[in-house]
Structure 1
Amino acid sequence: MKLESIEEYLQALNPDEIFYRQYYLAKRHEKEYATYIQSLNPEFIRQNNLIVPEIAYSFQPEQFGDESFFCIDSPQCIFLKKHDRYTPEFLHSHIFFEVIYVLKGTCRQSIQGQQVFMETGDVCLLSPGVKHTIACFDDDSLIINILIRRSTFKEVFFSFLRNDNILSSFFLTSLYTKHICEYIVFHTGYDLEIKRNLLEMYIEQLENKRYSERILNNMLMIYFAKILRGYEHNIILPAAVNKENIRGLAFIYYMKQHYKDITLEDMAREFHFTAPYTSAYIKKVTGYTYTQILQKLRLEHAESLLKNTNVSISRISEEIGYLNPEHFIRLFKRSYGISPNCFRQKWGNCQEDLLSAVSLTPK
């Protein structure tokens, strides 16, 4: 599909949007509304996962998991979808990150009870677990969602997280602290380059050619980089965001760069604090202890090595800073529920199944 036709494709109302528009218009006329609800087929509503609060046992999710949009055993990290216009507002959260981009028009969100109004070019990032609603009730507006798996984000975008900017700070607070930044909004206005980047990602997903997942991951990195380059200082943060928590991320940046051989005393000297104060400050701004964060960083790197290399378990243990392989194996099993060898074998089997499925897909 060509760039000039993708917006026309997205602008057309899909069957769900047509249904929701009828529902929305009927609800505005009290006399006709009861008759309209009685005319609906409850079985049709349930089978098509349509959100109609008046229909008993209809689709009314409170939280969306990865299984709603991603293949669980797939390494797929991102998924793009159009927000269905006229969808009734309903309070929900997700276990993944969500990017909401207003391609054209307007929409309104309620994020943890705070009203956020968005217009053309606005980009909103939502943290996992944040409760929100979204309202878009006209034919002309177009809202595109980018869903980013939390479970694979750290591995795929590890290099991005090592940069000191507002976006990496946003992701790091969700990944490594208990004091999350609920959302962040960038105002990009009528930036045609940002718009084109988003539409090209949508086309890449629709065409689903070989290496599409890797290409999409890199396209998203470029999309974020261009937003930062042009609009890093044109943002909205929640009124309650604690700037001290964001400043505290400097400790996590440092730990990510030196996790192999770092000590609490080394980090304290780097930031000109005492070791006890550094330890207490980390716990205060992240909700986790120094040891918990360090272990999390090391095991994440071990996970990546197990998935992508044939390096021995003892070498991986040494690579991430554990001189005793048995200690590493115990920690890994405690966190992942299986040993490093079993994890590697299970991941290899998943990849073989995925490759077989791709090879059997008709061209």
Structure 2
Amino acid sequence: MSPVGFFCIMVGETMIERSEKMFELDHFLREETKVEKEQRKSGFNVTDPDILDELILSGDKFRLNGDFLLSEEMFFKKGDVHIRKHNRYSDMPLHHHQFLELNYMYSGSCTQEVSGEKIILHEGDIIMLDRGSSHSFQALGEDDILINVLLKVETINTKILQQLVRKRGVLTEFLVLASQRTHEEDQFLVFRTGENKKVQTFMHYILEEYYGETEPNIEVIHLYLPLLFMELARTFEEETKGQQRHHNQVVTEALAIIEKDYRTLSLEMLAQQLGFNKNYLGNLIKKETGDTFKQLLQRQRMLHAHHLLLYSNYSMEEISEEIGYLDTSYFFRSFKKTHGKTPGQIREEALHRDL
């Protein structure tokens, strides 16, 4: 049966059955585990017993540059998908892993540092972490329920990519790279899907299937995962297009301001006008145009200087001042660097042409 056909059958359940399952799942996830009770009392991180056994037996085998390295053999003893609730009330130290990981913010919010970048997830959001990524967590509160979905490399390659093979995009490329044994990168994707009802529905079905039975049916979860990833791909694509349109508009506005106010403009002033952080705006301009703010500003000044040399009787000092340079010698050097000739040579050539 295809994933779509399977899903159509599942959505046929009554609203009462759906509500009962969601209530049971919610109650289960909010109930404190033994580790959570210990962490709430002590405030210190307590390693899950099943992971602790592996660490004790392995010695330093599961360490990378002094940090914990979470390997596939720790989690996938009963199948190629492993789901676990992140234990609340204590910080989680920096660790690496050898599998693809999805963090789903079921309830509340969390703050984590991923490969040196601070990421805040809100309810309904998902972050996808590649093999080799490193991250740490700040302590979760009572209402902060974070679900970790761990996938073996083989699962991505054989079960998921088959469904996404026709879908070209950032997410598909991410999964293709993650499925390659030789590939380990500290990349990640964040999906702001709190308002996406399809993503929430797929995640709830996956969690109900995993926690609803004594032994979860992993094959059923395999049917849901491609549906989840296809919806994430569509969400990411739409969000990226929206961001690109916004970026284009911002850069267009920035260029218009540079063209108008180049005499006195600074990056700080431009950022203030557009309502952006100075460094962020500078990086955006560089990314979208290939030039820095300083290069664009100087180019605009040199264009106007060239125009004044050809079509005005301004002196060199007046032109220098007109374009925003108080130091005439600096103007001369900048002009020659841009046009390959001095201002005097440009003006002289123009006069000879007019004779």
Structure 1 residue 62 and structure 2 residue 71: aligned?
no
Partner of 1:107: 110
Compared CA separation, residues 119 and 209, structure 1 to 2 (3 A): same
| Map 1:126-145 → 2, pairs under 5 A | 126-145=129-148
Aligned pair partner of 1:17 in 24, 33, 36 = 36
Aligned pair partner of 2:173 in 165, 169, 176 = 169
Structure 1 residue 216 and structure 2 residue 213: aligned?
no
CA distance, structure 2, for counterparts of residue 67 and residue 134 of structure 1: 23
Aligned pair partner of 1:156 in 155, 159, 163 = 159
Bigger drift between 93-102 and 82-91 goes to: 82-91
Contact kept, 8 Å, 2:132 with 2:186, in 1: the verdict is no
Aligned pair partner of 1:119 in 111, 117, 122 = 122
User: SS of the counterpart of 1:91?
Assistant: strand
CA distance, structure 1, for counterparts of residue 137 and residue 214 of structure 2: 32
Aligned pair partner of 1:87 in 85, 90, 95 = 90
The residue identity in structure 2 corresponding to 1:11 is R
Compared CA separation, residues 210 and 167, structure 1 to 2 (3 A): same
The residue identity in structure 2 corresponding to 1:18 is K
Partner of 2:306: none
CA distance, structure 1, for counterparts of residue 47 and residue 229 of structure 2: 38
Compared CA separation, residues 227 and 158, structure 1 to 2 (3 A): closer
CA distance, structure 1, for counterparts of residue 221 and residue 135 of structure 2: 26
Superposed displacement of residue 228, structure 1? 2.6
**Identity, % of aligned positions:** 22
Partner of 1:321: none
Compared CA separation, residues 178 and 137, structure 1 to 2 (3 A): closer
Q: Deviations over 1:294-352 (max 9, x none)?
A: xxxxxxxxxxxxxxxxxxxxxxxxxxxxxxxxxxxxxxxxxxxxxxxxxxxxxxxxxxx
Length, aligned pairs only: 211
| Map 1:254-293 → 2, pairs under 5 A | none
User: SS of the counterpart of 2:179?
Assistant: helix
Compared CA separation, residues 235 and 124, structure 1 to 2 (3 A): farther
CA distance, structure 2, for counterparts of residue 46 and residue 197 of structure 1: 27
Q: Deviations over 1:38-94 (max 9, x none)?
A: xxxxxx98967679xxxxx9x9971111221112xx6x3212111111233211111
Compared CA separation, residues 114 and 213, structure 1 to 2 (3 A): same
- Gaps of at least 5 residues in structure 2 are 1-19, 54-58, 242-355
Contact kept, 8 Å, 1:161 with 1:172, in 2: the verdict is no
Compared CA separation, residues 178 and 6, structure 1 to 2 (3 A): closer
Q: Deviations over 1:125-177 (max 9, x none)?
A: 00111111122331011111110101342122231352212211111233347
Asked which structure has the greater CA Rg, the reply is 2
Contact kept, 8 Å, 1:85 with 1:137, in 2: the verdict is yes
CA distance, structure 1, for counterparts of residue 197 and residue 207 of structure 2: 15
Superposed displacement of residue 192, structure 1? 3.6
Contact kept, 8 Å, 1:130 with 1:182, in 2: the verdict is yes
The residue identity in structure 1 corresponding to 2:40 is R
Superposed CA RMSD: 3.4
Aligned pair partner of 1:205 in 199, 202, 210 = 210
CA distance, structure 2, for counterparts of residue 228 and residue 68 of structure 1: 29
Compared CA separation, residues 209 and 8, structure 1 to 2 (3 A): closer
